[in-house]
Structure 1
Amino acid sequence: MQAALIAIQQYCSVHEIESNFIDSLADEGLIAITIVEGNSFISEEQLQDLELYTRWYSEMGVNTAGIDVIRHLLERVRHMQLEIISLRQRLQLYDGQ
């Protein structure tokens, strides 16, 4: 089943941003743009990430390279948090003996 598509032009209009911001996110590999009959769209699955990137860009003035760095660091933090949980669970097994 194909995800719903959201028109980039409409998204930019609602969020009062330039479409070249979306293009630069796509150039950085942060989102994927789908072209249908000459119009640009993003999938609904990417909307949450796009809204987060838009807030960072609009409210904090973070450029697309900075957005990529922040996204990467947050992903590393999440991975380390999962690893800490796993290690704590393993430690509990040994403490219980």
Structure 2
Amino acid sequence: MNLLRSFNKISFHFGKLWQFLVTSKVVAFTKMLHSEISQIRIFGPWLIAVVMALNTTIITEDSEICTGLSTKNSSGNAKVPNPTKHFVIRCENLFYFMR
């Protein structure tokens, strides 16, 4: 896959992910967007977009936040596994990877 085609595919999937995060109105996802804009070191949305483009698996130490993801309040920040469920992306932990 050439570089330009890869970049276009990643950008397309990043746009889909961004649209999902914006329209979901979940407070933790909104916080994820703001941290993505303000701090370049937050790379979760870009990582998810690359994995979507390459149709592969994310290996992360993040754990899904099961509580606090609501439209009214948030008990924490969204983690990589949260939006991956919506896009049916395989997301595994480091222990799975080491097996």
For normalisation by structure 1, the TM-score amounts to 0.35
Structure with the larger helix share: 1
Q: Which has the bigger relative contact order, CA under 8 A and spacing at least 6?
A: 2
Structure with the larger strand share: 1
For normalisation by structure 2, the TM-score amounts to 0.34
Q: Which has the larger radius of gyration?
A: 1
